[in-house]
């Protein structure tokens, strides 16, 4: 049996007396678009940072593709990309230059892979345009291009349609489904909007409050089981 893309058990994180994440469990199958729901300030970004090994939990365990994120972080992150909060780029550089430079910070990336990423997100025609002249939606797409380089199996997107106009929202939705369907990438999305998760995700769960946890199978539009 294949390991899930993400497995977290009893994850807890506090800041002083404030508990940001309490006894969080999650299991995400590989090859799906998975939604993570919760209102602003519920702790979604904090939890995603722990899934990426960027923040240590007080307790609990986290595995990515069957490997512990904290003891095997370097090996895991070779196949994982993320856009947490808003993507940041050098605005005086072109889209291609940004991807080329940022990719070199982690591992050598073939020029062909950079062009493939730009084509995947629909930015190949503006590859040499300075990012400072990009719309917010174009920057979101560029962030996703960076997240999939070189050949990542799992990407995290934090509120990917937040701040976009209707046209941009539809474009990002289609792009996310394309990444999963055509490239087999597991996509983990956080959102505070149930309607947005319904439009793009295969399944979802909420950020629990008061110990209540719900898991949703969006293909039949009904909750599978409360935890």
Tell me the H-state helices in 21-161. 44-51, 73-77, 95-104, 111-120, 136-148
CB half-sphere exposure, 37, CA atoms < 13 A: 18
Average pLDDT over residues 67-87: 90
Domain count, the chain: 2
Taking a C-beta distance cutoff of 8 angstroms, is the pair 85, 129 a contact? no
Residue 175 lies in a domain: yes
Which pLDDT band holds residue 196 (cuts at 50, 70, 90)?
A: confident
Q: What is the pTM of this model?
A: 0.87
pLDDT band at 124 (very low <50, low <70, confident <90, very high): very high
In this structure, are 167 and 55 located in the same domain?
A: yes
> pLDDT value at position 209?
59
In this prediction, residues 100-122 reach a mean pLDDT of: 87
Shared-domain flag, residues 103 and 189: no
Is residue 64 in some structural domain? Answer: yes
CB count within 10 Å of CB 31 equals 17
Confidence at residue 217, expressed as pLDDT on a 0 to 100 scale:
54
Using alpha carbons, select from 217, 188, 186 the residue that is nearest to residue 31: 186
Average pLDDT along the chain: 87
Give pLDDT tens digits for 17-44: 998 998 899 999 999 999 998 888 888 8
Give the sign of the dihedral formed by CA 132, CA 137, CA 140, CA 142.
negative
Does residue 84 sit within a domain?
no
The parent domain of residue 6 ranges over: 1-79+153-227
Q: Same domain, yes or no, for 115 and 179?
A: no
Q: Write down which residue in 136, 151, 166 finishes a domain.
A: 151
Top pLDDT among 77 and 2 is at: 77
Q: Indicate if 147 and 161 belong to the same structural domain.
A: no
Do both 70 and 161 map to the same domain? yes
């Amino acid at each position: 049996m294949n390991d899930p893309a993400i497995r977290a058990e009893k994850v807890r994180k506090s800041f002083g007396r404030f508990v940001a994440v309490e006894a969080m469990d999650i299991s995400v199958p590989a090859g799906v678009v998975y939604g993570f729901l919760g209102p602003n300030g519920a702790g979604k970004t904090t939890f995603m940072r722990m899934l990426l090994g960027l923040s240590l939990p007080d307790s609990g365990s986290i595995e990515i593709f069957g490997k512990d994120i904290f003891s095997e972080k370097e090996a895991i992150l070779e196949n994982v990309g993320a856009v947490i909060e808003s993507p940041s780029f050098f605005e005086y550089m072109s889209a291609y230059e940004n991807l080329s430079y940022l990719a070199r910070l982690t591992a050598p990336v073939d020029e062909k892979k950079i062009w493939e990423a730009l084509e995947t997100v629909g930015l190949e025609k503006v590859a040499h345009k300075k990012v400072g002249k990009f719309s917010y939606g174009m920057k979101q797409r560029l962030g996703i291009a960076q997240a999939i380089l070189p050949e990542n199996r799992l990407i995290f997107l934090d509120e990917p349609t937040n701040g976009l106009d209707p046209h941009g929202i539809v474009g990002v939705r289609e792009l996310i489904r394309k990444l999963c369907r055509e490239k087999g990438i597991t996509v983990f999305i956080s959102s505070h909007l149930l309607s947005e998760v319904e439009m793009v995700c295969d399944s979802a769960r909420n950020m629990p409050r008061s110990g209540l946890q719900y898991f949703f199978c969006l293909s039949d539009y009904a909750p599978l089981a409360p935890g």
